[in-house]
Chain A
Amino acid sequence: MKPSDYWALVLVFALLAVAPALAGPFYTRLLATGILYGTAAVGFNVLFGYTGLLSFGHAMFWGAGAYTVAIGMVKMGLSFPASLALSLLVVGVIALVTGFLSLRHTRIYFAMLTLAFGQLLYAIALKWRSMTGADEGIYGVPRPLGDVVLYYYLILGVSLVVLLALLKILKSPLGLAFRSIRDNPFRAEVVGYPVNRLRLLSYTISGLATGVAGSLYAPLQTSVNPESLYWTFSAAIVFMAILGGSRVFIGPFIGGLLYVFIQDTAMGATEYWLLATGITLGALILLLPEGIVGYIWRRLGGRLE
């Protein structure tokens, strides 16, 4: 039987659903982080793998989501669902505005513009003390359901909904239109696709998915800091997608999970961690360009994007 995107998703989430029974509180927490990183990376990959645009500013959606939930719950006294809804609104507006401005260009110019907008948001978080707490961030974000294990299941459930929605979109005619733009934007244009509008739609969907993951991260950590908006986290999201494999739907998700565990085990010191990241990324691109999941997928006879 050839691997299918749906079955891979079901299998991975089934394993994640039983994991807390075996993992203990610390590793359950780590898995929760991995699930959120993975969901953010799949969101990123809607734009990168399926629409052919490399964003170097996805931390902006992650961080904006995290900050909005934190501000909603701590400063405005909103409930978690209301904060999450507000967060989707804020992330959506940010995506539409930055997307509208960045998508005048493609390739490296687009990547640079997204990087610039990401850093702009970072600078705002660092300066606007009354709203964002500046470098101290916002702390004391209440965690819905309190307990880490219960919250883990909330994260798992929301992530599954997000991933199923993304998969449904990517399997629909809209997803096919994204792919056609990725493969040949000129032909897509000639065929009659509104290329710019579709790119903006893909960018916004991508940003919203990453934003939801970030929104759930703030209550997990009980705090949010400007680092969540910093460009290095944008780079980490790119890394997760490539590590798992951008040519399989579930690839970046596994990439996010792997990233968290590599970070947790393989690193003693930051300098060596950066070195290790660099070497891993270089080796992957040279030896395993389709990523870890992509490689396995191909060996199992699955179709790569």
Chain B
Amino acid sequence: MGGEVGRRDFLKIAGAGVLGLIVGAGVGYSIGSRGGGGGTETVTVTQTAGGQQASQQAAGGIPGKPLKIGYMYFMTGPFGTYGDMASKALEMAAEEVNNAGGILGRKVELISKDEADRERVVDNIIKMVQDEGAEILVGIDSSGDSLKLIDTIEKELQVPLIVTHAATPKLTECAKRKYIFRVSMYEEPIDVAAAILAAENYPDAAKVANIGPDYAYGWDSWAVFSSVLKELRPDIELLDPVYTKLGTTDYASYIDEFNRQKPDILFSSLWGGDAATFFKQAVQKGLFNNIKAYINPMLGATDTLKAIGDENVPQGGADIWGSGRYWFDYPPPSVYPVNKAFVDNFKSKYGEYPAYVSGTSYTALYAIKAAVERAYAEKGSWPDPDDFVKAMEDLVVAGPMGPVYVRGGDHQGMYEVYWGKLARGGGKYPHPILSDLKVFSPFKVFPEPLKTRVEC
């Protein structure tokens, strides 16, 4: 979606797009992804619907005990908000599913471990499965943790893990994993979309700068963004990227340097508290009067926006763009009932807007449900992990962020990427928001399965 689109038009387009996607997704995606593999089974959304019918019939082959799903997020410490917002959504999804009769009649029971228990991430995952009886795993905030769990999941446990936050391309794109899936957006498509956004909206931009956290995520984000931008705009000048320590409290010297260099575009993968601290200091030092655009792929996180506060949203000056894995106002609740129900229920239950991790973890539980029912429709009994994996591949599940297509080729969930402009909540929302969303089709910004610009 390139040119400017008015809000009303945008709603119409978005609404039509969402409906179209839901209908077309299953058929289109699965046929598309299986191109050339003639003779393989065809899989469509209708099978999921068939599965739902099956769930209403009491049938044999289904264990009587509840289905234990183990999740792991940062529940305490500086990143505890992630686990809090994700587990709230998981609890809500489990409650909804259980109230509707469970999954094929089995009640869902959630158990959890704290990812902040750093030394024991691997042990605790194994404990949930081998000692506490978890049949399916969900979660993982840290990219590093997701990578160190690969062998544990694939070789030792051989139990499905649905990742809902960790965003490193290496998890799904460096090799095809068998038992690991990711229903949340990962870094690369957001950064690709950012580069397209920058190239299309700022055709005169001459200089681009970067400030990001000094670890793999910050380095990889800039590598992807800058390389795609360079392909689109070979003449653009890339300034030396700046990387800062996690938890930096004083960005003054970096901001002074940007004020001197006056880059047209400042890309920043700072996140969480760091993103808010940098932003507030940049406002104080007038940085946004010296640049044309500030582009931050992690700005669309409600806790970061809360920390920035309405009073720090500059009026005029640079365009401030933010993205994330899900934004509670997209697809617009007015045209997409799944998101409306999710946001309304979340708000009335917990008194706040769902964070992006809430949207992705909520989706994970419904993906599990859909996959179990799909496998059941084929086999007639409760799926073992291998059946479950087969049913997860090329599955389409309606999440709050829109239909998510779990691509068979790399087990990565595909859905639309959005970029929105920072605006004040203005009393309607308790924190700043993203508005004037630009939405990118996943086909435009997702690399082919098992292809990534990041070094494996």
Contact = CB atoms under 8 A, between A and B. Distances in A.
Contact of B151 (A25, A140, A268): A140
A5 interface: no
Nearest to A268: B114
B134 to A, nearest CB: 12
Interface residues of A, number: 33
Interface residues of B, number: 29
Interface in A65-90: none
Given A223-B122, A268-B114, A26 B148 contact: no
A269 B114 contact: yes
B168 interface: yes
* Residue among A137, A140, A233 facing the most chain B CB atoms (10 A cut-off): A140
Contacts of A126: 215
A236 to B, nearest CB: 8
Chain A facing B: main interface SS: helix
B148 A269 contact: no
Contacts of B118: 227, 270
Given A24-B130, A26-B131, A270 B147 contact: no
A8 B150 CA distance: 39
B186 to A, nearest CB: 14
Interface stretch (A96-104, A128-136, A243-251): A128-136
A222 B152 contact: yes
A139 interface: yes
A271 to B, nearest CB: 5
B144 A26 contact: no
B404 interface: no
A26 B120 contact: no
B123 A271 contact: no
B151 A26 contact: no
Contacts of A141: 151
Interface in A253-293: 263-264, 267-271, 273
B147 A139 contact: yes
A29 B123 contact: yes
A24 to B, nearest CB: 7
A221 B144 contact: no
A58 to B, nearest CB: 15
Contacts of B127: 26, 264
B126 interface: yes
B116 interface: yes
A270 B76 contact: yes
Contacts of A29: 123, 126
Given A24-B131, A269-B75, A270-B114, A136 B170 contact: yes
Nearest to B150: A139
Main secondary structure of the interface of B (DSSP, over half): helix
Contacts of A236: 119
B77 interface: yes
Contacts of B147: 136-137, 139, 223
A137 B170 CA distance: 12
A139 B120 contact: no
Nearest to B122: A221
B41 to A, nearest CB: 31
A222 B77 contact: no
Residue of A139, A222, A264, A270 with highest tally of chain B CB at under 10 A: A270
Given A29-B126, A33-B123, A223 B117 contact: no
Nearest to B119: A227
A195 interface: no
B156 interface: yes
A148 interface: yes
Contacts of A233: 119
Given A135-B144, A223-B147, A26 B170 contact: no
A263 B144 CA distance: 22
Nearest to A146: B155
Q: Please name the 10 residue pairs, one residue from A and one from B, whose CB atoms are nearest each other, closest first.
A: A223-B148, A222-B151, A26-B130, A135-B215, A26-B131, A270-B116, A269-B76, A136-B144, A139-B147, A139-B148
Given A27-B131, A129-B216, A139-B151, 18 more contacts: A24-B130, A26-B126, A26-B130, A136-B147, A136-B168, A136-B170, A137-B144, A137-B147, A221-B122, A222-B122, A222-B148, A222-B151, A222-B155, A222-B156, A223-B122, A225-B148, A269-B75, A270-B114
Interface of A: 24-27, 29-30, 33, 126, 129, 134-137, 139-141, 146, 148, 221-223, 225, 227, 233, 236, 263-264, 267-271, 273
25 contacts: A126-B215, A129-B219, A134-B216, A135-B216, A136-B143, A136-B147, A136-B168, A136-B170, A137-B147, A137-B148, A139-B150, A139-B151, A140-B151, A141-B151, A146-B155, A222-B148, A225-B144, A227-B118, A233-B119, A263-B120, A264-B123, A269-B114, A270-B116, A270-B117, A273-B117
